[in-house]
């Protein structure tokens, strides 16, 4: 999933494909196992997508916005706040 937490529509480029992501939303995107380039604005990031070993999905923060995540734990443990 590629996220856009901003109040404006953004355009990102994955390899050579341009994606438009509406404001405050996200789009699902499946990466093949290989090297990729993600570009947004005047910045680019090269990375390697590898198959998941846990059948889980991930989140790409293309705007590098700050996030606060709350992880809910099992067995009655208190939630953990992660500032990232």
- Annotate 60-74 with b (16+ C-beta within 10 A) or e (fewer): bebbeeeeeeeeeee
* pLDDT (0 to 100) of residue 9: 96
* pLDDT (0 to 100) of residue 18: 96
**Tens-level pLDDT at each residue, the chain (84 residues):** 899 989 999 999 999 999 999 999 999 998 889 999 999 989 998 999 888 777 777 777 778 887 776 666 676 666 555 655
The CA distance from 49 to 32, in Å, is 7
* pLDDT (0 to 100) of residue 76: 65
How many other CB atoms are found less than 10 A from the CB of residue 40?
20
Residue ranges of domains in the chain? 2-83
How many other CB atoms are found less than 10 A from the CB of residue 31?
17
Distances in Å between the alpha carbon of 11 and those of 33, 34, 39, 65, 84? 23, 22, 9, 15, 23
* pLDDT (0 to 100) of residue 66: 78
* pLDDT (0 to 100) of residue 40: 93
């Amino acid at each position: 999933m590629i996220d856009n937490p901003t109040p404006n529509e953004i355009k990102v480029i994955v390899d050579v494909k341009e994606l438009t992501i509406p404001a405050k939303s996200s789009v699902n995107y499946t990466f093949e196992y290989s090297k990729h380039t993600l570009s947004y604005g005047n910045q680019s990031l090269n990375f390697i997508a590898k198959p998941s070993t846990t059948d889980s999905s991930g989140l790409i923060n293309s705007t590098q916005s700050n996030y606060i995540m709350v992880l809910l734990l099992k067995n009655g443990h208190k939630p953990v706040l992660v500032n990232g």
